[in-house]
Structure 1
Amino acid sequence: MLKKIIKNKLVLLATVSAISASAQMPQMPAPLVGAAKVEIMVERAVKSYVGNIMASEEVQLSARVAGILTSQNFIEGGMVKKGDLLMTIEDTTYKARVEQAKATVDQIEAELDFATSNYNRQKMLADKDTISRATLEEAIRLIALTKAKHDGAKATLVDAQNELSYTRIFAPIDGRIGKLRYTYGNFVNSASEPLATIVKVDPIYIRFYISERDFLNLFKTNEEMKESASMSITMANGEPFSGKGKILLVDNKVDERTGTIAIWATFENPQMKLIPGGYVTVLLSEKSDEQQVAVPLSAIMIDRIGSYVYVVNQENTAIRRDIVVDTVVGDKQLIKSGLEPGEIVVVSGNNKVVPGSKVEIGKR
């Protein structure tokens, strides 16, 4: 009997000690999670396409006259303005041609003055019947020939002046200039490769190809596509591009070989992040009047039951909410049912959440 009493006391003592120890154990802190509000979106994703980056304008600078390249007045890879003097070609020969052409014009003008005076004299004499008709006609012929020579000399002068002007190469557009293919002192002429290339990169063009089926299903007509298409692009490193864009041109025919239509879009590119010749991913969306709620993709959890999110209530308790998902728009998941606008969902730290437990919302 005594042993039984002692045993019961020991059990009671152990139970009390366990309860006391449990009471003294600190409560586990609520896990820190990132959260975001459920949003309303008025467009839905359609397709993604590979886009080719193209300059909105491109000009190749070529030598129009022959000569030694005497100066370079730009920084390779830098920006230039329309009208900037970029390069010069040795102009000694061309200046001499201009002076020679001017002298020829002056000489023929003197001849023209003489021919005109001679005609006037012959005309007066002919009116008095003191010379033959043939003499007057010869004076007329002389003045006509001299005028023709004068016109030819003036044309030669203009041509010489143009050639002289071609020894100074100016920027025809605003843009970014590339590397100079010929260094100072090299001989260049009209048969040489282009000296350099200027590309206009703001705005920039993006060309991509959409299947005929997608085009007809989504937009039907060129004008409808221009008006209703919403577009964004992702750069080669996976980062979204912030510049605004719009559809510029829908090609006028379908490529018979591929069944696709070429589309050109234009984007603002003030920081020149998009470089001609590169590639981007074009995300093309059709604007819709139908509103849908959306959450970041990182909020979506999936198990054997289906898709769900953790909704955080006013008491900072995380509650599991089963949802029905729709399509994806960029980094957003459209939701068919299960969520209301303005609700708070967990978007990071999801694996630390225990349904029905408290959470602490930190920065996303």
Structure 2
Amino acid sequence: MSADSPRTAGYARRRRGLWIALAILVAVIALVVFHIVNRKPARIGAPAQVVSVATAHRGDMPEILRSLGTVTPLATVTVLPQLSGYLTEVGYQEGQDVKKGQFLAQIDPRQYQISKQQAQAQLAKDQATLDQARADLARYTQLYQKKSIAEQQYMDQKFLVEQSEAAVKADKANIAQFDLDLAYCRITAPVDGRVGLRLVDPGNYVTPSSSTGIVVITTMKPTTVQFTVPQDSLGKVLDRVNSGAKLPVTLYNSDNTRQLATGTLYAMGNQMATSTGTVTLRANFANDDEKLYPNEFVNVQLLVDTLRNTVLVPTPAVQTGAPGDYVFLVNADDSVSVHKVTPGPSDGQYTAILSGLSAGQTVVTDGTDRLSDGARIRVAQAQPASAASAPATPSSAGAAHGNGRRHGAGQNTGSTSAS
């Protein structure tokens, strides 16, 4: 029993040491696991955003008002008969160009010719009565001077002559009226223009009360275009017109892909439309090629003025958001900062900056939706200055009313160039 005690004691010590080592190992493993679970991720710098940039430069920017217009002929005439009768002849072809005074249609004149002959016969009768009354008056005058007849008889004859003269005048007026009716039987073009489709065929009985008329004549050249401008832009237009300037107007087709004509502004409405807050303007066009068709819808560009030597940037560089209108200005350390600006007119490709930016400063033009103030950038491809040497002309802009500027998170919204 005593001989086994040292062996038992050694066994107990080894067993206790094993438990201690196992506890230490478990503690180390727990510590490692705790360290791994609670370890903070290594900080990695935000990657630079790839953007496109451009340099602000100076140039000329046209101030253009864009609007939807309607081709309005100088004259649209519905030819109506001025008397009643059967239509015996039509002297035009549908769609034909006619000159003023050209024969269009004929109404049966026989009834009016007969009425004229009756009036001529009545005139001859009354003229004979007048001649007889004048002869009697001459004889009565001599007798009255010799006191051979009463004064009453002389005065009655004098009045009879005056009555006969009035009857002759009435007969002549009737003849003139029938002459006019016969002229009305031959219907001619009141203006130069183009006739439309035939409205009445020969053989129909026409009257002055006919609302459709015989034919419609529309002047094709020259022609005009009516369009509107908002009241906010009216002041500058008035200033230019009152100074004697001839404001040029350019027309484009409905999808703004093709230029149709150029003309000048020549008339303005005298009242503001309260429902729309706009004023109607009218421009004149030669239309020698007849590309402008009556009542056609066209896109109108009115050149009000031109800003000379102003700061220009590509239109996508101008953003609109919580700060207002701004650009992302490229700093020397390849970062960007939000820079508030005051934009002016735009031609679609470029936008004028009235204040807040100087020529030579670099702005971001593409990739702005991923940027924020202070973000790091990497330029993908810098736009050469030669490519931005001059803004696009109004005719090359080819944009509808309001060229887009990016807003906030890359959305586009319309911005009028001058309104």
Q: Which runs of 5+ in 1 are unaligned?
A: 1-39, 312-320, 334-364
Give the TM-score taking structure 1 as reference length: 0.70
Deviations 1:30-56 (A, max 9, x none): xxxxxxxxxx98661422100011111
The higher radius of gyration belongs to 2
Count of residues paired in the alignment: 283
Q: Which one is further off, 227-236 or 138-147?
A: 227-236
Query: Residue type of the partner of 2:214?
Result: L
1:302-341 aligned at under 5 Å gives the runs 303-304=366-367, 309=383, 323=388, 329-332=394-397
Deviations 1:104-124 (A, max 9, x none): 112111111111111001001
> Would the aligned equivalents of 1:228 and 1:287 in 2 still touch at CA under 8 Å?
no
Structure 2 equivalent of residue 66 of structure 1: 84
The alpha-carbon distance between structure 1 residues 291 and 102, as it changes in their structure 2 partners (threshold 3 A), is farther
Deviations 1:162-201 (A, max 9, x none): 1111000011111111112111111101011211111112
> Would the aligned equivalents of 2:86 and 2:203 in 1 still touch at CA under 8 Å?
yes
After superposition, the CA RMSD in angstroms is 3.2
The alpha-carbon distance between structure 1 residues 99 and 43, as it changes in their structure 2 partners (threshold 3 A), is farther
Identity percentage over the alignment? 22
Structure 2 equivalent of residue 184 of structure 1: 202
The alpha-carbon distance between structure 1 residues 181 and 228, as it changes in their structure 2 partners (threshold 3 A), is closer
Q: Which runs of 5+ in 2 are unaligned?
A: 1-57, 315-346, 351-363, 368-378, 399-419
| Separation (CA, whole Å) in 2 of partners of 1:41 and 1:200 | 42
1:129-208 aligned at under 5 Å gives the runs 129-193=147-211, 194-208=213-227
Structure 2 equivalent of residue 20 of structure 1: none
Tell me the CA shift for residue 325 of structure 1. 8.7
| Separation (CA, whole Å) in 2 of partners of 1:85 and 1:146 | 40
> Would the aligned equivalents of 1:48 and 1:283 in 2 still touch at CA under 8 Å?
yes
| Separation (CA, whole Å) in 2 of partners of 1:141 and 1:48 | 76
Query: Residue type of the partner of 1:330?
Result: S
The alpha-carbon distance between structure 1 residues 61 and 294, as it changes in their structure 2 partners (threshold 3 A), is farther
SS of match in other structure, 1:262: strand
Structure 2 equivalent of residue 244 of structure 1: 262
> Would the aligned equivalents of 2:101 and 2:188 in 1 still touch at CA under 8 Å?
yes
| Separation (CA, whole Å) in 2 of partners of 1:224 and 1:155 | 52
Deviations 1:225-246 (A, max 9, x none): 8615222011236443443311
> Would the aligned equivalents of 1:222 and 1:250 in 2 still touch at CA under 8 Å?
no
Query: Residue type of the partner of 1:141?
Result: F
- Large movers: runs of 4+ above 6 Å: 292-299, 324-328
Tell me the CA shift for residue 331 of structure 1. 1.6
Give the TM-score taking structure 2 as reference length: 0.61
The alpha-carbon distance between structure 1 residues 157 and 322, as it changes in their structure 2 partners (threshold 3 A), is closer
